[in-house]
Chains A and B, each alone.
Chain A
Amino acid sequence: MKFFFHIGRYFDLLGKVLSVPEKFSIFRKQVIVEIDNLGIDSLGIVAIISVFIGAVATIQTAFNTDHPLLPDYAVGFATRQMLILEFSPTMIALILAGKVGSRIASEIGSMRVTEQIDALEAMGVNSASYLILPKIIAAVFINPFLVIISIFLGLCGGWLVSKFTDVLPISHYMSGILLEFSQYDITYALIKTVVFAFLITTISGYFGYYTKGGALDVGNSSTKAVVFSSIFIIFFNLVLTQILLA
């Protein structure tokens, strides 16, 4: 029952959020700030994780597919597909759900418990839209770039492994990652990314916006934001994969 209550209230909030901004000049500034807060700020962690996962994926695939019948390019090809199809869009989204989601929920939640949201409302500002819409737009815009960067750096990770170890020859790796490249895979990754960015920002915004109580409850909201963003990312990953690839 509670589940339906939350779903109903979530869509109710979305209705308020998705409205034309009061003043476009202010909105534009907010979006730029959020691109910085939510996107540029996450670049470091995305980069580190991607390089290492790319490297580890290459090593693992090489060790586990060490069979004379498998072609030379198999390892590079598998690494690339894994990065594009699942790791970069989905795993990075999960990491961002933790980093960005908790940030959004605690920022908005603390504004709620210190009556700053009441203050916005009392001034005649649509607080839901003012606080959440810039975050949605910023994340939907910047996350695809993060994912592209992640794919690229993941491939670099694999390249480093083949260059500096004798796990596999670099020529095999290169022929693998260049093999049968399909643009649709990138499209698929980016569609997922945009959907996940929307889920993270709206779900975290929702839990922050409806925080009740004090500082402790802000912590609670932020935990819920991460948990539910992650669950919905996983769920929609399945749904989207079924729709887009089947």
Chain B
Amino acid sequence: MIKVTNLWKYFDNVAVIEDITVSFHKGMTNLIIGQSGSGKTVLLKCIMGLLEAEKGNILYDGQDFIKMDSAKKQLLRKEMGVLFQGGALFDSLTVEENIMFPLNMFTKYSKEEKLERVNFCLNRVNLGKVNKLYPSELSGGMKKRVAIARAIANNPKYLFCDEPNSGLDPKTAIVIDKLIKEITEEYNITTIINTHDMNSVMEIGARVAFIHQGKLWWEGSNNDILFSSNKELNSFVYASELLKKLK
């Protein structure tokens, strides 16, 4: 479980994250939803320690992340898998080398074992025969899937996904969503997913936190979200004409 309390983050004296308190549970897909620019990516990066929050606390299964020294942080990070919004694949490495990277760095597997793991991960994201390609030779959606494969390669305890299915067609998007949910439940991972896709919310939103202008406005599960009376949440959820009519 990851527990965030009273988190504040400023850019040039403007608060981008304002006093957010939220918990993310083990074995569940925890969604952070909100409009573009609401602060989802910043919140996620603060939780991972890639951005330094000015105030607040972050507990990883009870361990105080903010107060940790860098050596300990590094150790904890070896248990994290991260999918960045832009993929962030290493463009000097092939797909295979990208996914193998965390394994090369932190495990003592043999070459064959690593290769097996790579192919297993590629299979899970529905990709085959791309091992030797470079990221520049992949489509946007394929990059995303390779990035997911890299994130899960080393069996993370914590999985962070920043918009895992933006840029994917609806069918692949659902496959990816389901995949993340599956591995989260199977390996009891604490997973946090940023998204603004209502399909994902309905599909895998076991826990949902709605962020608006840097503040937490609503928390609940996908079953409650359609019946909430929160005005901002409603305007986010029922943004499309189709859904408005259905309501």
Contact = CB atoms under 8 A, between A and B. Distances in A.
A19 to B, nearest CB: 10
Interface string A113-130: 011101101111110000
B188 to A, nearest CB: 20
23 contacts: A22-B105, A22-B106, A23-B104, A114-B86, A114-B88, A115-B85, A116-B88, A118-B45, A118-B50, A118-B88, A119-B88, A119-B90, A121-B77, A122-B50, A122-B82, A122-B160, A123-B77, A123-B80, A123-B106, A124-B73, A124-B76, A124-B77, A125-B74
A246 interface: no
A121 B75 CA distance: 11
A26 B84 CA distance: 24
Interface in B92-123: 101-102, 104-106
A119 B88 CA distance: 6
Given A123-B102, A126-B74, 13 more contacts: A26-B104, A114-B88, A115-B85, A116-B88, A118-B84, A118-B88, A121-B77, A122-B77, A122-B160, A123-B77, A123-B80, A123-B82, A124-B106
B90 A116 contact: yes
Interface residues of A, number: 15
Interface residues of B, number: 24
Interface string B1-43: 0000000000000000000000000000000000000000000
A124 B80 contact: yes
A126 B160 CA distance: 19
A115 B88 CA distance: 5
A121 B50 contact: yes
A124 B74 contact: yes
B70 to A, nearest CB: 9
